[in-house]
Amino acid sequence: MTKNLEGAALGDAGLEELGIAKGSVMIQSEPIFKNATRVVGLDHNKYSSNKETDATKLTIEEFVESMYTTGFQATNFALAVNIINEMRSWKPPDELSEEPTYLESENEGCTIFLGYTSNLVSSGVRESIRYLVQHKKVSCIVTTAGGIEEDIIKCLDHTYLGSFELNGSELRKKGLNRIGNLLIPNNNYCKFEDWIIPILDTLLEEQKKENKIWTPSSMIHRLGKEINNEESICYWAYKNKIPIFCPALTDGSLGDMIYFHSFRNPGLIIDIASDIRSINTISVRAKCTGMIILGGGIVKHHIANANLMRNGADYAVYINTGQEFDGSDSGARPDEAVSWGKIKPDAKMLLHSQRIDNVQKKQEHQKNFTIFS
């Protein structure tokens, strides 16, 4: 009856059009692939403060585990956490315990390279990085000049919240420097100059009297000792003998201070050649390596290139907002690094904020969601 009524209302041409439309919209699905994961978010009722429920406190592990099935970048973040946990738990296979091809290395586990850009130190992420260094969660660090000086300067005075919309000309008149929505009074850099110039004098004196060869990493080690402040990343790197490499040490306020110092007390030499040998040697001697790279630019490439010396890292997690379409290294996906030999073809790797590359199945990634305990 309905069909007859539709036919009467639509006519043969209308029925044909309706059939085409329904055929396009109501296409039948094939069965979903085996072991497919259902998208579902965190059930907050389990952790509700309602006294009528048997709620418990939400742990960070449960929260991160729920992110795996949330989708989008939440899933990528959860996968990244698990890859990092695998880095931390790696142990050499028994058959490699007497492997003669490995050079002597003090680290029997996975050697973890941490790279980060200066803006993270300017922000509150600094405290998270300091925790990792304080508790020896990483083996080696690469950062920019700002990643060093901002850490030191925060021990001398504060950085403040501002706004992305503040007028640059007005800020300049007030002596306030803007980093995104953060503000750093220029007086902080004046205090930094007062603090570091005498240290540069000492470095130069030791260079002349003891024939001491300073490298960026040995200079940073000394700055960590001199700042003697437990809030500092550099301090804990000094205490725990974790090298901090900074191939662009002069690209920032540190460079300004070295420049000023060269007029009043010239002659300080900083040798970058020794540092490239040092970081490459760490990579070559490692039994296993993992890269955690926050941001892009020189910190990303310096770590990746060091891992080229051992035919690639075993693990890699990139967290950045870069795009690959301009051909920059900052935006390059992990698979591009595979083509250069900087990441092993069978490595576990992930680019958080853009896409997943070569990650294993859910059953392997959904276990052990612990964040640097």
Count the Cβ atoms, other than its own, within 10 Å of residue 361.
Answer: 10
DSSP secondary structure letter of residue 139: S
Q: Is 342 a catalytic residue?
A: yes
DSSP secondary structure letter of residue 214: B
The closest alpha carbon to 184, from 209, 207, 158, belongs to 158
Please list, in sequence order, all residues whose beta carbon lies within 8 angstroms of the beta carbon of residue 83, skipping any fewer than 6 positions away.
Answer: 290, 315, 316, 317, 348, 349, 350, 359, 365
C-alpha distance from residue 325 to each of 100, 171, 300, 329, 332 (Å): 43, 34, 17, 10, 8
DSSP secondary structure letter of residue 289: E
Strands in the chain per DSSP E:
111-116, 140-143, 160-161, 176-179, 182-185, 244-245, 289-294, 313-319, 343-352, 355-357
Buried b (16+ CB within 10 A) or exposed e, 124-157: eebeebbebbbeebbbbbbbbbbbbbbbbbbbbe
Q: Which of 137, 287, 300, 342 is catalytic?
A: 342
Round to the nearest angstrom and report the end-to-end CA distance of the chain.
Answer: 69
Biggest alpha carbon–alpha carbon distance for the chain = 106
Which residues does residue 113 pair with via DSSP β-bridges, in sequence order?
140, 291
Buried b (16+ CB within 10 A) or exposed e, 295-332: bbbbbbbbbbbbbbbbebbbbbbbbbebebeeeebbbb
Query: How far is Cα 114 from Cα 137, in angstroms, rounded to an integer?
Result: 10
Active site residues: 342
